[in-house]
Structure 1
Amino acid sequence: MIYGYYISKGVVQLSAAENRALIQRVYTEGFNQGLLSVVDEMFASHFLDRSTPDQPPGIEGVKAYIRSVRAGFPDIAVTIEDLIATEERVVVRTTWCGTHLATYENLAPTGKRVMRTMIQIFRVEDGKLCEEWSEGGDLGQ
């Protein structure tokens, strides 16, 4: 370990605690507060969401997704229910709640409060999120 980072096969690895903090910032600042600058800090330029084939890869794809969610559900609140981290992976179970006030994924606004739960697995490389797999409901349902 050098200065709080693990070096393995020439790749910088954050500690499990640092990866936990990374995910907490993504949800608190990115989704709940809409601060897209956190995406530049926390996601790799080659990020790939393997569960959302329509999402463009990379940082701009993540920003577009956050903008879309926050536009459709301006009061979105993502709560982290469980968070498990290692130096290379983070698993998070979240609850998403918001009111459907604008078009989201081609669905007209309903004015209804919706909730979904998600389980997401992130792979961390060089201190940034580079890959994601997720399971859960759709906010538009």
Structure 2
Amino acid sequence: MQQTLEPVITAAWLAAWDKGDLDALDALMAEGYTRTSKATGATVDLAGLKAEIASVREAFPDLRTTLDDIVVGEGTVAVFWTSTGTHAHEYLGVPATGLTVHTRGSNILVLDPRGRVLQETVTWDGSELLAGLGIRPLRGIAAPPAPEPEDEDAQPSLDTMKAFNRQFITGVTVVTTKEGDRPKGLAANAYCSVSLEPPLVLVCVQKTSSTYPALFSSSHLGINILGADQKPTVGVFASKSPDKFAEVDWHEGPHGSPLIDCSAASIEAEIQERFQAKTHTVFICRVRHAEVDGAAPMVYKAGHFFDGGQLVEL
């Protein structure tokens, strides 16, 4: 049985995953075949499996798989595998990063009396590809979204949330990166320090920003804390200008990230993880370079900008 099954499984598996020959699975799978992911609990049929493979191959067109081991039992087969590929196209709503991923998993196959696969349980799901790139969901990326609460009183109104946010005072930053040789950036106040040892920071970016895809494909980014006299710069980076950097002076950090001249402080940081949070992505970054000018920072509250050097100590 083992001598018969191993080459059949290997040939069909590699033809489908590595070459995109999805019909190669037809002779391997029994009628009524189902595939269940332990990671999400989701179950699909053969058509669903083919759709998943097609989606992965579109996003990782150079995907290559190694079958590390195939263990044949009485009516069951365990398959252990490793895959490598380059994230060249959008996958699960995440723009291409151009990064290479290595992922591995195991599948348990239950056979029918004719030796075809009737049921399959897999430890892996598509989000593992993104996790291998440092992109993680705040909630399971493949899990169905939680239903919206029917009771309108179950959450604050939009006006209440706006009023709450207006009470919070923040600094003003410009987050920067490069798309090829072209500098890109956006104004953001969703920034904070995570830790000093190691030096970690986070910044939250809306997915609709024109800078967002470039951030995903970058290994580093710049974060510039604007000074009190840089209000015109805020307007530039809050705009939809096609070439924002034509209007400001800047220089490159050690890893090429644009750092804005005369900022109160600037850092260049290596992107280490990207957490998906519905409409936004939270970038967790390790600081690799810092510049501090010492100028008074700009302060933002309730839609207005203030001179951070004029604060009254309590």
Could you state the TM-score of these two structures normalised by the residue count of structure 2? 0.38
Deviation at 1:40, TM superposition (A): 1.4
Aligned-pair RMSD on alpha carbons?
1.8
Partner residue in 2 for 1:39: 25
Partner residue in 1 for 2:129: 139
Query: CA-to-partner distance for each residue in 1:81-132, whole Å, 9 max, x for gaps?
Result: 1111135111111111000111222222111000101111111212321211
Give secondary structure in 2 for the equivalent of 1:140.
Answer: helix
Deviation at 1:22, TM superposition (A): 2.4
Unaligned stretches of 5+ in structure 1?
Answer: 1-14
Amino acid at match of 1:28: L
Equivalent residue runs for 1:19-30 within 5 Å = 19-30=5-16
Instruction: Tell me if structure 2 keeps the 8 A contact 1:97–1:113.
Output: yes
- The CA distance in 2 between the partners of 1:55 and 1:34, in whole Å, is 21
Deviation at 1:60, TM superposition (A): 0.9
Partner residue in 1 for 2:34: 48
- The CA distance in 2 between the partners of 1:87 and 1:23, in whole Å, is 16
- The CA distance in 2 between the partners of 1:121 and 1:47, in whole Å, is 13
Partner residue in 2 for 1:104: 91
Instruction: Tell me if structure 2 keeps the 8 A contact 1:49–1:55.
Output: yes
Distance 1:55 1:113, change over 3 A: farther
Partner residue in 2 for 1:130: 118
Partner residue in 2 for 1:16: 2
Give secondary structure in 1 for the equivalent of 2:44.
Answer: coil
- The CA distance in 1 between the partners of 2:94 and 2:31, in whole Å, is 30
- The CA distance in 2 between the partners of 1:40 and 1:128, in whole Å, is 10
Partner residue in 1 for 2:285: none
Does 2:86 align with 1:86? no
Deviation at 1:25, TM superposition (A): 1.5
Deviation at 1:55, TM superposition (A): 5.3
Amino acid at match of 1:109: A
Higher RCO by CA contacts (8 Å cutoff, separation 6 or greater)? 1
- The CA distance in 2 between the partners of 1:112 and 1:60, in whole Å, is 29
Runs of 4+ in 1 over 6 A off after TM superposition: none
Work out the number of aligned pairs and report it. 126
Does 2:106 align with 1:119? yes
Could you state the TM-score of these two structures normalised by the residue count of structure 1? 0.80
Instruction: Tell me if structure 1 keeps the 8 A contact 2:13–2:25.
Output: no
Identical aligned residues as a percent? 27
Deviation at 1:71, TM superposition (A): 0.5
